[in-house]
Structure formats: structure tokens, C-alpha cells
Amino acid sequence: MIDHRLTVLRTFASCGTVTAAADILGYSPSAVSAQLREYQRAVGVPLVAREGRGLRLTSAGRTLVDRSDALVALWEEIRGEVRDATPGQEPTTLRLGGFSSATGALLSTVAARLHHDHPALDVTITEAEPDRCIDLLTAERLDVAVTVSMQAAPDTETSQIEQIPLLDDPLDVLLPADHPGTTYRALFTTAFTAAGATPRVVHEVADWVSSVEIVSRGLGVGLVPRLVQLSSDLPVVRVPLDGPSAPRRRVLVMLRRSSRAHALVAEAVDLLQRTAADAGTVAGTVTA
């Protein structure tokens, strides 16, 4: 078995701080620090060193983390093969994660289907932003994640994490119901995409519910992803943007490469792809 303290070290390396690693692992920061100290005593060389008020990997620690990638992946593959070869030994838990709108539009449907097909399976959903999903996958706290990247975003695929394109989610313009642009929809859409104008940012909010409230009160216009489900009785109108330059975000499925062949993980990925298609996607793009 893999020493659990190696997992702590690898999570620290991925997250960059003891506090962040503790958050991912569900430990206290002091417990993470203690595990790191114990592990470097067991290994016999310094793996972390003080840097200001925090810690950093030493060159030996970095070497151990990098070289352990193949070991950790092989161990997960072996565990999966042994489990799949033993009747009645399916995993008891499958952990799904993703950003907020994917939870409602995709993950909840997949979780319900998995519950139906595997009554003894405990399916959990964790809402998390993309960077946190990657850390949770690396620490084996998630099995499958739905994440998002915007156009021209850096590639987050690593030697451990595989990403599978799921769909392209267009961003619609969100207007108050009585906005004059809703009457001249075609003109508004053409002008918005062709002009390339930079909007004046007046309000900054962290969730779509707040954005809808601001727009509905006539305090501005905004963008909302097509996956975000809005109630039909809200005093706002969605205006799809057309053309190759229309903004969109790419929705991805992420998983550890070493778990790709596991039966339940493969089933979850397949269900996500089918759920995306059932939600109204064509050739990887959500339709209006």
C-alpha cells in the first residue's frame, strides 16, 4: 500500500501551502505539518524547508513527488483491476465534483442515474472551482470532476489528470425584460459581436443569482452561461450571441488517468456525455 504520508506530501506539492493541503485532505494544518515532519524522518532526508512563514519542497521532496507519480498511478490501476476481477466488490462510494451550474445541469442527473443502477453505491457531489477540483482529484478526494475553462485558457491537463471535452457552453447576454435591446434582438446581437466594444464594468458579483438580480433591476446587462438554468418568471431576457467570436466556455470532464479503466468511473463519464447530449448539445455545443 502507498504510505498515506506520501499522499500528504503530494497534496502539499499540488496545493502549495499547508493550509490549502489541509483543506483538500480534511485535516487541520497542524496535522499536515506533523505528517510532513514524520514522513521526512522516515525517508531520512529533508523533504520540506522553511520559507518565510511557510514551507516549500526541497529538491529531494520534489524528486520524490515527481517520481511517485508512476507509483501512485500503478497502485490505483492494480486496486481497480483487483476489485473489478472480484464479483460483488464494486466500490461503495463514487465521488463527483464540479462547478455550480454543472452540479444542477449535469452532475445531479448523473448521480441519480448511478443511484438507480447501483442501489448500494454512495454517490457524493462536491461543488468546487476548477483549480480545487484538480487538487481534489490529485488527492483522490474526487473520482470524476466537471470543470470549465474559458477560451484561450491555459491547458490544465497533466501527466496524472486526463481531460475530456464535454461541451462548449455559450455565454448569452442577460437583459432586463424591458430593455430596448430585447425589442431589436437581431440588431443588438449583431452590434454587440461586431463592434468588439469593451463593456464598462460597474458591478462584480460571485454568483449568477446575484447577477440576475442586478440585471432585473435595470442596473446593467451581463453574460450568463447557457447551462445556468433561470426561472421563466424572472424579469430578464437571454439574448444568444452568434458568430465565431461569440464568447463561450469549454466544459471538461477530468479524472485521474489511472482510474480511466475502472468500470464505475467509465460509466460516470459515459453518463455525463449522454446527459450533455440530452440537455440539447450538438457537436459539443449547447444549442439555443
- pLDDT tens digits for range 220-234: 777 778 887 776 777
- The Cα–Cα gap between 153 and 156 comes to 9
Q: Compute the residue count for the chain.
A: 288
Say whether pTM exceeds 0.85.
no
pLDDT score, position 238:
79
Alpha helix locations (H) across 163-262? Answer: 185-195, 208-216
pLDDT averaged per 10 residues in sequence order, the chain, 288 residues = 91 93 94 95 95 92 93 87 76 90 90 93 93 90 87 53 89 70 44 55 69 76 77 74 75 91 91 84 38
Alpha helix locations (H) across 85-184? Answer: 100-102, 108-117, 130-138
CATH 1.10.10.10 matches 4-84:
yes
pLDDT score, position 196:
62
- The Cα–Cα gap between 165 and 147 comes to 10
The architecture in CATH of the region 90-288 reads 3-Layer(aba) Sandwich (3.40)
pLDDT score, position 190:
46
Owner of C-alpha cell 464494486 = 90
pLDDT score, position 65:
94
pLDDT score, position 43:
94
List the chain domain ranges: 4-84, 90-288
Side-chain-side CA neighbours of 218 within 13 Å: the count stands at: 3
Bridge partners of 68, per DSSP, are none
